[in-house]
Amino acid sequence: MLPAQMSAQAQAPKRVRIGATPGPHAQILEAVKPVAAKNGLDLQIIEFSDYVVPNEALSAGEIEANSFQNQPFLDNQKADRGYKLVSVAQTVNFPLGIYSKRHKSFDAVPNGGTIAIQNDPTNGGRSLLLLQDKGVIKLRPGTGFKPTPADIVENPRKLRFIEVDAAQTPRALDDVDAAAINTNYATPAGLKPSDALLREDPKGPYVNILAVREADRDQPWVKALVESYRTPETKAFIEKTFGGTVLPSW
């Protein structure tokens, strides 16, 4: 091999396939991509339409990293599936909201009304905790971050809860009184988080993360990826693009 060829090979960017859900997570990574290129990374963004496959793909080595989940969700996936995955940085927070096409306020939801929540333990539990925080229901003490409808001990309005895939919650709005929808699914569906009937406090345990395989956590490309994401340029893009509906963690 000629010296020039060896030099070009040494300088070739490191390919990093990173999984994300459509909407803000993928949009933010598109803004990170040119910064990552300056840091020697060829960032290839792969979109997944649900919350299950990105960790399956990361564990299987089909991608090198993902950016779509919070720590409680990752912890639950690791406990249930034995994944050897780890968070390497916090990214952004998407305050979850309760939306409706039928009602202008949550007080207008009738007794016995139907509320759609996510069918995965972390996000469904997050929605129930939001409803408890707003005084709508009361949950059994000690349920942690993963309560289910079975843990509701007080429900004075006799609300009925149906569980659907998180990605389908915007579609459920046509059939229910209200639905709990994660911001990264609400925004592509044309919903404004500021129009949510109820919205969780942006401070809390649900800040999103960058995840990689445990075996890769100390790799130089991981440090470069984190540094590329958590930059003033990325923060400015988030603030300009999402107007406070997505909050940087740094």
At 192-249, the pLDDT tens digits run 888 899 998 767 788 999 999 999 999 999 999 999 999 999 999 999 998 888 889 9
Q: What is the per-residue pLDDT across 85-118, written as a single tens digit (0 to 9) for each? A: 999 999 999 889 999 999 999 999 999 999 999 9
Taking 90 as the threshold, does the pLDDT of residue 178 lie above it?
yes
Per-residue pLDDT band for 136 (boundaries 50, 70, 90) equals very high
Q: Give the Cα separation of 179 and 170 in Å (integer).
A: 7
Percentage of the chain beyond pLDDT 90 is 82
- Residue 232: is it exposed, middle or buried by C-beta count within 10 angstroms (0-12/13-18/19+)? exposed
Q: Residue 11: its pLDDT value, please?
A: 65
Taking 60 as the threshold, does the pLDDT of residue 160 lie above it?
yes
Residue 8: inside a domain, yes or no?
no
125 lies in the same domain as 215 = no
Residue 4: inside a domain, yes or no?
no
Which has the higher per-residue pLDDT, 126 or 7? 126
CATH number (domain holding residue 192): 3.40.190.10
Q: Residue 34: its pLDDT value, please?
A: 98
Phi, psi angles (nearest 5°) of residue 237: -60, -45
Quick one: average pLDDT of 156-185? 96
227 lies in the same domain as 177 = no
The two beta strands, 114-118 and 160-164, are parallel
Per-residue pLDDT band for 10 (boundaries 50, 70, 90) equals low
Q: Residue 187: its pLDDT value, please?
A: 86
Q: Residue 148: its pLDDT value, please?
A: 96
Instruction: Pick left, alpha or beta for residue 82 (phi over 0 → left; psi -120 to 50 → alpha; otherwise beta).
Output: left
108 lies in the same domain as 165 = yes
Residue 3: inside a domain, yes or no?
no
Angle at 183 between CA 179 and CA 189, to 5 degrees: 75
pTM of the model: 0.75
**Over the chain, what is the mean pLDDT?**
93
64 lies in the same domain as 151 = no
120 lies in the same domain as 137 = yes
107 lies in the same domain as 194 = yes
DSSP state of 231: S
